[in-house]
Structure 1
Amino acid sequence: MVLLQYDMNMSTRTLSKPSRFHLSDIIDAIVQLQSLIRTLYLFTANDFMTFAIPTTLFAVFGACSGPVLTSNPNPDLLSTLLRLPAALLGVWTNLLIFNISNQRSPSAVEEDKINKPHRPLPSGLITSDGSRRVLLAAVPLVLLLNWTLGAWQETLLLFTSTWMYNDLQGCDEDWILRNLLIAVGYGLYSCAALRIMTGSEHSITATGLQWLVIITLVMFITQHICDIKDQEGDRSRGRRSAPIVLGDELVRWSVAVPILVSSIISPMFFGLRLWSGMTLSTLIIGSTVAARTMVYRDLKSDKLTWKLWAFWTCWLFALPLAKDPRVVAEIWYHLSGMVCPNGDCYTGLNVAAVSGVALVIEGRRLYGHFGAWLVGNVTVPKIVVEGVM
């Protein structure tokens, strides 16, 4: 800002020089922003693919199912998918609040030094007091964001369950209470995402709410599969998780059997026959997860089984699409209309192929430029394009 000064003795006016921005200040600001983004992501990194993505997919499948779960009789595919980033943002920001709250206590830091040493607190990227300050700023911002997205009720309930789980140590009290709080949270995340994906002009029907309850129950009776791989850290913290209380053998049975039962009951909710393709595929995937839980018991296998369990839950989330074949037909009609306008599939597919290659190449270029800036050292894979016909 330019300041006007008046000198009484000289009777002249002089202009003071404006302050200058130094390049080093700008670089420091960019570095600090990069560090903040990376730290926030690392708080949620372990749960992004196994929690944020599945709950968002639940919302995508539910919204695309139209009248099966929502009041929208004929959802437009493009309009629905355009709400996908907002739904994912709503889920991720709520997940961020939970994870920071969950990871900042001294006992949690000690546990993560064993189970997840790459997280921000055990790796020294941020202090416990620093994470507290982040929460002070993030909580009202996340609530405001989800208010604009139309999911503020679920967000308030998630804040409450986060407080009970972390600050009131519900996660350490008993494995049943721990499972219950996690399952309720999962249902709230899914409900919030579905509400955002559905849009403000439509609502979740009674059937949709019943499906949310079923998914919450499925999470309650199966999600302690996540604790099997974390037994060492839970034991060091004194947490009464299911594997610690029940023992390794019994806890595996307590996961495998409910997965098989859920693989049968969930399709039945939508009236799918036992020998239908969707029911059989659900049962096959569930049986694979259950069998791996019982047979493969080393840490590496348990981690892979946990990821397969997350995939199985995503398969359950797709069941509403199989309820009404017209829903799938409508989605196919929209996709074919975009790819093959006026029945000209050759031109449409060629444009799609060229555009896809261009996106991959441009994505590789941007990844090479900004990947290291965001997540540290990266190796950019080579892409060889032989030709597009």
Structure 2
Amino acid sequence: MYAIRRTTHGVAKFSRETAESLLEAAYTLYLFSESNIVGVLCPAIAMGVALVGMPDAAAFLGGFIWLELHLLAFEIMNQVTGIEEDKISKPHRPIPSGRISPSSARALYVCVVTAALLMSARHGIAPLSIAYVLAITVYNEGGLARFWFLKSALGALGYVTFCWGTAVCFGNDEPLPRRAIWAIACEALIFLTTGHAQDFRDRDGDKAIGRRTLALLLPQSFARWSLSALLLAWSTVLWCFWVPPVACIIIVYGLAGATATSFLVDYSQDADQRSYGLYNLWLVSCNVLPLFDRLKNYIA
């Protein structure tokens, strides 16, 4: 009887420790991509649904996993190569906080990239992922993120990858129609011209490592007013291109105005973090607009 109790206790202890280890690992993965859940996952999912319609549960899960693998690949290597910056501006991240060592993070990166490439091959979009891996390599390890234009251009390529791949997964591997390609190209241009909204919140870290972003190179007032003008200009372009219902465009303009006001009223980095959150909500609202083009075609 004692042996049975001892065995039961051992099994329970092993199960508890295994569950705790898995939860710790899941939380570490979450911390790697936490800062881009609203900035990448939400806009890409919104665009995928808008372009191909609401996927079934299996397609949605597959698309979400594909997207998360690609986001994780970027974030892990970005944080491996940016430890000193993160110690200043994001000390809670897994590497500077000591949750995972740089060598373990590199091993995790190899596993994540391998899984992402295999999953893309299954969906017939391996070239997209290969180009993406090359881009994030030169962005992080090649040091191109130090230069504002290359940083924005490679970021735009990343958004193309996220939106394209997610839409393909949601659409059960069907080729994207020409209208969808135009929508993704527009998304890339939006990020190319306004993606530096994320850099205002990281000014101290960028300055410490010598990164030259528009948030540092331009006078603060000009950088913020020009960004605000671009948000409103893109809202107008999308209104004319997709012709959504009035209520929807009011939401888009409202979020653009709220984002602009937030950036203009308070120049502190804490406020810029909140402003960037509003920017991401605006980006999500923009990415939903192609849905109304699909609805018009469906009704017709």
Task: Output the TM-score relative to the length of structure 2.
Answer: 0.89
- Rounded to whole Å, the distance in 2 between the matches of 1:328 and 1:295 is 43
Q: Does 1:109 align with 2:109?
A: no
CA-based RMSD? 2.3
In structure 1, the residue matched to 2:276 is 306
Return 5+ residue gaps in structure 2 as ranges.
1-6
In structure 2, the residue matched to 1:132 is 106
Question: Does the CA contact (< 8 Å) of 1:171 and 1:177 recur in 2?
Answer: yes
- C-alpha deviation, 1:81, in angstroms: 5.3
Deviation sequence 1:344-367 (CA, Å, 0-9, x none):
xxxxxxxxxxxxxxxxxxxxxxxx
Q: Does 1:51 align with 2:40?
A: yes
Question: Does the CA contact (< 8 Å) of 2:239 and 2:249 recur in 1?
Answer: yes
- Rounded to whole Å, the distance in 1 between the matches of 2:110 and 2:268 is 40
Q: Does 1:219 align with 2:191?
A: yes
| Mapping 1:1-389, distance limit 5 Å | 23=11, 27-64=16-53, 77=54, 79-80=55-56, 82-105=58-81, 108-172=82-146, 174-200=147-173, 202-270=174-242, 272=243, 276-323=246-293, 325-326=295-296
- C-alpha deviation, 1:210, in angstroms: 1.2
Choose 1 or 2 for highest CA Rg.
1
Identity of aligned residues (%): 23
- Rounded to whole Å, the distance in 1 between the matches of 2:78 and 2:50 is 29
- Rounded to whole Å, the distance in 1 between the matches of 2:109 and 2:254 is 42
Question: Does the CA contact (< 8 Å) of 1:90 and 1:145 recur in 2?
Answer: yes
Question: Does the CA contact (< 8 Å) of 1:278 and 1:322 recur in 2?
Answer: no
Q: What code does the residue aligned with 2:285 have?
A: W
Task: Output the TM-score relative to the length of structure 1.
Answer: 0.70
Question: Does the CA contact (< 8 Å) of 1:100 and 1:131 recur in 2?
Answer: yes
- Rounded to whole Å, the distance in 2 between the matches of 1:229 and 1:191 is 28
- Rounded to whole Å, the distance in 1 between the matches of 2:294 and 2:43 is 22
Aligned length: 292
- C-alpha deviation, 1:155, in angstroms: 1.5
Structure ranking higher on relative contact order (CA contacts 8 Å, 6+ apart): 2
- Rounded to whole Å, the distance in 1 between the matches of 2:52 and 2:230 is 27
- Rounded to whole Å, the distance in 1 between the matches of 2:220 and 2:238 is 27
Deviation sequence 1:136-161 (CA, Å, 0-9, x none):
22221221123224432322121111
Q: What code does the residue aligned with 1:101 have?
A: M
Question: Does the CA contact (< 8 Å) of 2:51 and 2:294 recur in 1?
Answer: no
